[in-house]
Amino acid sequence: MADRVFNFNPGPATLPYEVLQQAGRDVVNFKNTGMGLIEISHRSKEFIAVCQETETNLRELMGIPANYKVLFLQGGASSQFFMVPMNLLGPGKKAAYLNTGVWSKKAIKEAKLFGAIDVAYSSEELGFRRVPRSGEYKVADDAEYLYYVSNNTIYGTQFPDVPQSDKMLVSDMSSDILSRPIDVSKFGLIFAGAQKNLGPAGVTLVIIREDLLERSPANIPTMLAYKTHAEKESMFNTPPCFAIYIMGEVLKWLKKLGGVDAVAKMNAEKASRLYAAMDASDYYRGHADKDSRSLMNVPFNLPTKELEAKFLAEATALGLCGLKGHRSLGGCRASIYNAFPLEGVVKLTEFMADFAAKNPAP
């Protein structure tokens, strides 16, 4: 693995190397069937076993209560932006949304097609550099749910805790699911695109409280009702087999690592080292307010655009790849999801100190 780089991409993102190696073999010949993983029927006993093991491990890792269904869907988190309100709202019904970045803004836009949306909080005027504390906003009594994005990949903010509310919570956890323990029973629905902490692009995880399956209006397309997929265990139609398989391998890797508590400690350690390197001087400027900082995505700027370009080029040459920032903030962004190794963070922080010393601000 001499040629492997440290991959700071925001998603699709780095995956455990042992998962890739196993996938490389299974794609050609899966469990000695004489067929590749992507050639076998989704209704074969081999693939059904993959799905079942994946669900079992996810339930164990997240502590998902028995009255929740686990669904493997397609269409990305972007499809959940409309599926959530399409299934859970309806004419005259209301929901509260916390607007903390691009992804919540898009979700609010789609939700408005299906109900009355109350934006209970927005940090847009602050450049989305913070998330609210519980108590900073009011949720209308007649809101069906409170929606929030737990981690914001672009602005590098993250809710430090689950918002306190007597309302059912709905959360887009695409970029921090399984990175720390959460109490699933506080949620009506959790969803996550896979391509950060779960696996490759192409599958979207939905965890939904069973009683909510009955809420869908009768006149929506079959494929868009959660109930359709819950009743058929995500096999109403052909599921995205490869992406589910990789998710399964990632979950096995996470279990071996010690589960969510163990990885949460490692994530805290990685982020703490990276923020310490940033805070050591005024050279690197983070975007997020300190008490809203994300443990997953760390955007930062250098004194000038020229220095940023030089930093990125030299980092890439050292095998520190994918550090280019999102176009809305420019500069740099280090995404350090579950599978990103501490070793890569150490190397980055050393490079940051070295670069700042050699390239003083003008």
The residues assigned a catalytic role are 103, 172, 196
State in angstroms the smallest separation of the CB of 216 from a second copy: 13
Residue count at the site for a second copy (CB under 8 A)? Answer: 68
Torsion of CA 258, 267, 201, 33, to 10 degrees: -20
| Residue in 146, 180, 145, 178 with CA at minimum distance from that of residue 160 | 180
33 binds a second copy (CB under 8 A): yes
41 binds a second copy (CB under 8 A): yes
Q: Going by C-beta distance under 8 Å and a sequence separation of 6 or more, which residues neighbour residue 290?
A: none
Contacting range for a second copy; rule: CB under 8 A; set: 1-9, 49-57, 260-268, 342-350: 1-9
CA 133 to CA 279: how far, in whole Å? 23
CB of 216 within 8 A of CB of 199?
no
CB of 77 within 8 A of CB of 103?
yes
308 binds a second copy (CB under 8 A): no
Give the nearer residue to a second copy in terms of CB position, either 283 or 337.
337
Give the nearer residue to a second copy in terms of CB position, either 221 or 360.
221
From 202, 248, 286, 331, residue interacting with a second copy (rule: CB under 8 A): 202
In 3-state terms, what secondary structure has residue 44? coil
DSSP percent split of the chain into helix, strand, coil, nearest 5? 40, 20, 40
CA 289 to CA 226: how far, in whole Å? 37
Per the structure block, which two tokens stand in for 279? 């805070």
Among positions 47-76, residues that touch a second copy (CB under 8 A) are 74-76
319 binds a second copy (CB under 8 A): yes
> Which residue, chain included where needed, has tokens 């004419």?
91
Among positions 87-106, residues that touch a second copy (CB under 8 A) are 106
Q: Going by C-beta distance under 8 Å and a sequence separation of 6 or more, which residues neighbour residue 254?
A: 61, 178, 260, 263, 338
From 48, 53, 79, 318, residue interacting with a second copy (rule: CB under 8 A): 79
From 163, 188, 239, 325, residue interacting with a second copy (rule: CB under 8 A): 239
Give the nearer residue to a second copy in terms of CB position, either 156 or 163.
156
State in angstroms the smallest separation of the CB of 195 from a second copy: 6
Give the nearer residue to a second copy in terms of CB position, either 104 or 292.
104
Q: Are strands 157-158 and 6-7 parallel, antiparallel or unpaired?
A: unpaired
State in angstroms the smallest separation of the CB of 127 from a second copy: 22
82 binds a second copy (CB under 8 A): yes
| Residue 9 Cα distances to 6, 120, 285, angstroms | 9, 32, 20
Residues that bind a second copy (CB under 8 A): 3-5, 7, 9-15, 20-21, 23-25, 27-29, 32-36, 38-42, 44, 74-79, 81-82, 86, 106, 109-110, 113, 193, 195, 199-203, 219-224, 236-243, 246, 319, 321-322
